[in-house]
């Protein structure tokens, strides 16, 4: 008899414990204790004013961090990376890494910025216009990465040039297979087949020599095996000494 009572108690206690456990879990998931109430954005949040919001009835424990990141990136291409941490019981902390524009283009009479990866950022949320105007892009969609290999080469070149003194051009234009870099004192011409890193290193040496000599050529042609420098405008009626020279 005693054993029957014990078995009966066990049969009653186990379901009761399970029901209690389920009730506790449901209370945690649906109650207010772990309800998301605060989204803290470390650093500047100007670019995310309308993107990060606290959704009603959202449980901090159930937030899918990968989806949350994707949603923010899809809405704002300026966001490159996001570090998310949950601070119980009701705070979500975001650390943003923003994309830095390396050039600007003009599409449909509007200024649009692009970064070194070719991401089209838009132009309404950046206060300072990057100094380089890229005229090679006529059509692009905000939030998408430009996959054109020629544009990729130009952006790679700019990335390698950005840390070199006086090496960043003011404007870049494209004609068929040639890239033209416009500087205040000279023009540099090269083709897409060149290695961007090698071209940047060559320009660094050339510009250093120009500064030492105190003389800048009107044109630097880097489409040949050696740079060809033009110091005098070619005039049809001019029959003087050659206007160009090759640098070893």
Dihedral, CA atoms, 100, 102, 107, 110, nearest 10 degrees?
60
Give me the phi and psi of 230, to 5 degrees please. Answer: -115, 120
Nearest to 150 by CA among 165, 134, 163, 126: 134
Per the confidence metrics, is the pTM higher than 0.75?
no
Cα(165)–Cα(160) distance, integer angstroms: 11
What tokens does 62 get?
């159930």
Q: What is the pLDDT of residues 103-154, one digit of tens each?
A: 998 887 888 899 999 999 987 656 666 778 998 887 888 899 999 988 999 9
Q: Which of 31-35, 137-141, 151-155, 156-160 is predicted least confidently?
A: 31-35
Nearest to 118 by CA among 133, 99, 135: 99
Cα(8)–Cα(10) distance, integer angstroms: 5
The more confident residue out of 36 and 69 is: 69
Q: What is the pLDDT of residues 169-214, one digit of tens each?
A: 989 998 888 999 999 899 999 998 889 999 999 999 999 999 999 9
pLDDT average, residue stretch 79-104? 86
Cα(167)–Cα(158) distance, integer angstroms: 9
Q: Supply the DSSP symbol for 193.
A: T
Cα(91)–Cα(38) distance, integer angstroms: 5
């Amino acid at each position: 008899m005693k054993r029957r009572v014990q078995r009966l108690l066990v049969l009653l206690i186990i379901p009761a414990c399970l029901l209690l456990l389920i009730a506790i879990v449901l209370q945690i998931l649906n109650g207010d204790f772990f309800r998301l109430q605060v989204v803290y954005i470390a650093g500047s949040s100007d670019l995310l004013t309308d993107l990060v919001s606290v959704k009603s009835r959202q449980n901090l424990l159930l937030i899918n961090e990968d989806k949350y990141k994707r949603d923010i990136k899809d809405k704002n291409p300026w966001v490159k990376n996001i570090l998310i941490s949950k601070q119980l019981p009701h705070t979500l902390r975001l650390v943003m890494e923003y994309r830095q524009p390396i050039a600007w283009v003009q599409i449909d009479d509007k200024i649009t910025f692009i970064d070194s990866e070719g991401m089209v950022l838009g132009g309404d949320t950046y206060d300072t216009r990057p100094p380089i105007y890229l005229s090679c892009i006529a059509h692009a969609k905000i939030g998408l990465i430009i996959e054109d290999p020629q544009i990729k080469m130009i952006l790679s070149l700019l990335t390698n040039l950005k840390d070199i003194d006086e090496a960043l051009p003011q404007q870049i234009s494209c004609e068929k297979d040639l890239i033209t870099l416009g500087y205040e004192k000279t023009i540099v011409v090269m083709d897409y087949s060149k290695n961007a890193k090698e071209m940047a290193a060559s320009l660094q040496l050339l510009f250093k020599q120009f500064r030492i000599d105190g003389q800048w050529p009107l044109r630097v042609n880097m489409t040949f095996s050696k740079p060809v420098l033009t110091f005098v405008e070619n005039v049809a009626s001019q029959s003087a000494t050659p206007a160009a020279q090759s640098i070893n």
